[in-house]
Amino acid sequence: MTAIMRCYAGPADLRAMQELTRRVWSPASPQHVGDLAWGRFMYTPEIADWPIALWEDGGRVVAWAWANLPGDLRMEVDPARPELLDAVLAWFDERAGDGVRTVCPLDDQADVRAALTRHGYELQRDGPYFAPHARSLLGLPAPVLPEGYTARPVRGAEDLDRRVAAHRKAWNPSRVTTESYRAVMAAWPYRPGLDWVVEAPDGEFVANCHIWYDDGTRVGLIEPVGTVPSHRRRGLSRAVCLAALHALRDAGGGMAVVSPRGDEAYPAPGRLYRSLGFRPYARTLTYVKEGSP
């Protein structure tokens, strides 16, 4: 059957893309439904309204491509439709022009890697990469906080300003704003009960961990996590992640995943997650192409 390509036309399409991502999810997929929601809404549309294309067959999405211009591609192709990899890469060539184009599949994605090589991409041997980690939700330790700090889920809009302030201090400089985070909170599958913060004795939110829960696969994606600099190395991220992981398990989750950097240039997040019992199971590879399509 021939798939029909069309351009993204609004939030209903993001949901249809998430359905593909959920349907084909496995530890060998680089995307979780939460990556799509966070990637689309963490910035306001003026910053993040990048071109997206969908390929549909029989009324359902069988591939999508998202060009984070100028030159990064994220994509998902139904493994049952590998011929669409060529269409996706041709679309990206057209959108990105002849500048540097980068695609980062997981090492296990042999069909994607073969398509990239066919289209003139070269594997970069050095540089930063991400290492997906996973852990089951059995046997979670209890969170332990220093005296005076408390952990709790956000209560919705009333906590929005403090929630965003904590994120911005942890990720300084950050382009996440109150407006963009409001859109995150409205996106599927955001749940306030999985958006945890640590409150300092003076009421400031000083650490946070949000989990995107896919109740189809029962896998939760941790994204994002942060502690404001003046409160680091007190165990706050460890505690807030554990509190959120307990909530994930209570919501029905069976496994959690997270993708910290795997290279030694930015090791702290990986150490944090391994200290929580996560273990790496894959890594991203960086394929680059330059010049005319």
Ligand X SMILES: CC(C)(COP(=O)(O)OP(=O)(O)OC[C@H]1O[C@@H](n2cnc3c(N)ncnc32)[C@H](O)[C@@H]1OP(=O)(O)O)[C@@H](O)C(=O)NCCC(=O)NCCS
What count of Cα atoms within 13 Å lies in the side-chain half-sphere of residue 269? 23
What are residue 176's phi and psi, to 5 degrees?
-75, 135
Shortest reach from residue 199's CB to ligand X, in Å:
14
Q: How far apart are CA 282 and CA 151, in angstroms?
A: 31
Site for ligand X in 262-291 (CB under 6 A): 267-269, 271-272, 275
- Cα angle 24-30-34, degrees, rounded to a multiple of 5: 80
Shortest reach from residue 167's CB to ligand X, in Å:
9
Site for ligand X in 168-197 (CB under 6 A): 170-171
Biggest CA–CA distance in the chain, Å, is: 62
Using the minimum distance from each CB to ligand X, give the nearer residue, 23 or 234. Answer: 234
Of 166, 143, 146, give the one whose Cα is nearest residue 154.
Answer: 166
Site for ligand X in 208-237 (CB under 6 A): 225-227, 232-237
Q: What is the CA radius of gyration of the chain?
A: 19
Among the listed ranges 21-29, 57-65, 187-195, 260-268, the one in contact with ligand X (CB under 6 A) is: 260-268
Shortest reach from residue 5's CB to ligand X, in Å:
33
Residue type, 112: V
Using the minimum distance from each CB to ligand X, give the nearer residue, 71 or 269. Answer: 269
Q: How far apart are CA 238 and CA 240, in angstroms?
A: 6
The residue assigned the tokens 């990637």 is 39
Shortest reach from residue 273's CB to ligand X, in Å:
7
Q: Would you count residue 34 as binding ligand X (CB under 6 A)?
A: no
Select from 260, 277, 282, 286 the one that contacts ligand X (CB under 6 A). 260
CB 125 within 8 A of CB 283: no
Site for ligand X in 142-161 (CB under 6 A): none
List residues near ligand X by CB under 6 A.
Answer: 170-171, 207, 225-227, 232-238, 260, 267-269, 271-272, 275
